[in-house]
Amino acid sequence: MVIHDGSVRKRFAEGAVDGKITCEDCFKIAKEMGIPKDEIASTLTDMDIKIIKCQIGCFS
């Protein structure tokens, strides 16, 4: 499990609204920050940010 610090966490916090962020936005941020998509969930869980509108139906 990788939990990012600093700029990655800040970027996810900026993308979240009311503690939620869309799957699409997560993928865009991951690409922009150069981090693997499979590292997103652990970081967001640590930040208490929920993924919504999941593109494959895993989160609601």
Number of domains in the chain: 1
Asked if the structure places residue 60 within a domain, the reply is no
Asked if the structure places residue 17 within a domain, the reply is yes
pLDDT value, residue 14: 94
The whole-number average pLDDT for the span 17-34 is: 92
Residue 37: pLDDT band by 50, 70, 90 thresholds? confident
Which structural domain, as residue segments, surrounds residue 38? 6-52
Asked if the structure places residue 32 within a domain, the reply is yes
Q: Is pLDDT at 35 greater than 80 in this prediction?
A: yes
The structure tokens 């652990």 sit at 42
Is residue 48 a contact partner of residue 18, using CB atoms and an 8 Å limit?
no
